[in-house]
Copies of this chain bind each other. A is one copy, B any other.
């Protein structure tokens, strides 16, 4: 098995470790983290260095690729930009829980994390660096833009589009043929009954737009 490096040592890494080890395709060699001391052990793996040291780490640990293990969508973008600046063709791998059910003609980008029990129906497209949490479901012909996410137990009807960086949080239902803009956050337990524009926070059953959102604004209580 080829060695991979995790970028990010927060709780999100813990999930990813479980998924990667259950998938059994890659050997986790360690973690690149910007906060924890080098040598610290997190979830059974050592912090090997900073992402700025990537060229050195690749040589030292025979690293084949990696995955960004950070839950915040915009932070994943910042980190991926930074890695691509150092190594433009760095290989980002996917971590897809073996329980995932994948319909025909589904297309995956790179750097994707999919947790246990997710279902992705025929013809759907999952962009680069997307994250699907426990039991998330995409119906047929859906599209997730790069760096977007769907939290646990959220579901869509068919032909739903989710824009780049947008986050569908816990227990959300999105009706058929709707479009969610970019950098938009849908709050927990919402029923999405209409299209949503870019850069808003919206929630409720039925959904209401609550306020505008800035680019890069965090949506999780913590990583």
Contacts and interface: CB of A to CB of B under 8 A. Distances in A.
A188 B170 contact: no
A205 B189 contact: yes
Interface in A121-176: 121-123, 133-135, 137, 139-141, 151-153, 155-158, 170-171, 173, 175-176
Q: What is the interface of chain A mostly: helix, strand, loop, or mixed?
A: loop
A55 interface: no
Contact of A121 (B122, B134, B141, B173): B134
**Complex copy number for this chain:** 3
A123 B157 contact: no
22 contacts: A14-B123, A14-B140, A15-B121, A15-B122, A15-B140, A18-B103, A18-B104, A18-B122, A99-B101, A116-B121, A117-B119, A117-B137, A134-B155, A135-B135, A135-B137, A139-B152, A152-B157, A153-B153, A153-B155, A157-B170, A170-B175, A189-B205
